């Protein structure tokens, strides 16, 4: 599944929970006069607001159980999420894991939520092993939607 479909699912889920959200467009790659590639960096994938609270979301997707961490988060994303968090925004990395459980015909859709305040400094130096990621708490996706109410309630309660 393409990341654009996952992004659409998150956007629809946020809107259904009465959050405002905006997908920051991907920047086109340009060529400089010296014939080198240049792609402007963006701070995150989605900027949202819920009950007056700013939210930054970085979306990641994998299709099998594998390690996740510092190699999947770009330096510019790490810096943006850290600075926004210090300024009072709530920042999250949403990891979508679309796996096919043993003996099942359909893929299972799991959304693992990492609060940047808790995990940001960990991701700077470390990676979560696949065996630990399997045990991590997740939100189950159904029919292209995620119930983000627990996440938004947690943000609202802060």
pLDDT digits (tens, 9 = 90+) for 74-125: 888 999 999 999 999 999 999 999 887 666 667 778 899 999 999 999 998 8
What's residue 15's pLDDT? 93
25-52 tens-digit pLDDT: 876 666 666 666 666 678 899 999 998 8
CA distance 106 to 98: 10
pTM of the prediction? 0.86
| Residue 35 near residue 69, CB atoms below 8 Å | no
Distances (CA, A) of 78 to 66, 73, 122, 152: 20, 7, 11, 22
CA distance 18 to 100: 31
Residue ranges of alpha helices (H) inside the chain are 3-16, 75-86, 116-125, 130-135, 149-156
**pLDDT value at 65 more than 70:** yes
Could you tell me which residues are beta bridge partners of residue 92? 57, 115
What's residue 21's pLDDT? 96
CA distance 49 to 40: 24
What's residue 64's pLDDT? 85
Could you tell me which residues are beta bridge partners of residue 50? 53
């Amino acid at each position: 599944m393409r990341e654009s479909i996952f992004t659409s699912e998150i956007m629809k889920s946020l809107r259904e929970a009465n959050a405002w959200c905006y997908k920051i467009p991907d920047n086109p790659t340009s060529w400089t006069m010296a014939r080198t590639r240049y792609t402007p960096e963006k701070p995150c994938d989605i900027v949202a607001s819920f009950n007056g609270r700013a939210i930054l979301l970085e979306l990641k997707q994998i299709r099998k159980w594998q390690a996740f961490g510092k190699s999947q988060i770009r330096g510019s994303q790490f810096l943006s999420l850290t600075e926004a968090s210090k300024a009072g925004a709530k920042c999250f990395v949403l990891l979508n894991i679309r796996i096919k459980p043993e003996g099942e015909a359909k893929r299972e859709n799991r959304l693992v939520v990492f609060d940047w305040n808790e995990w940001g400094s960990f991701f700077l130096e470390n990676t979560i092993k696949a065996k630990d990621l399997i045990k991590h708490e997740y939100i189950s996706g159904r029919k292209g939607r995620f119930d983000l109410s627990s996440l938004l309630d947690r943000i609202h309660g802060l």
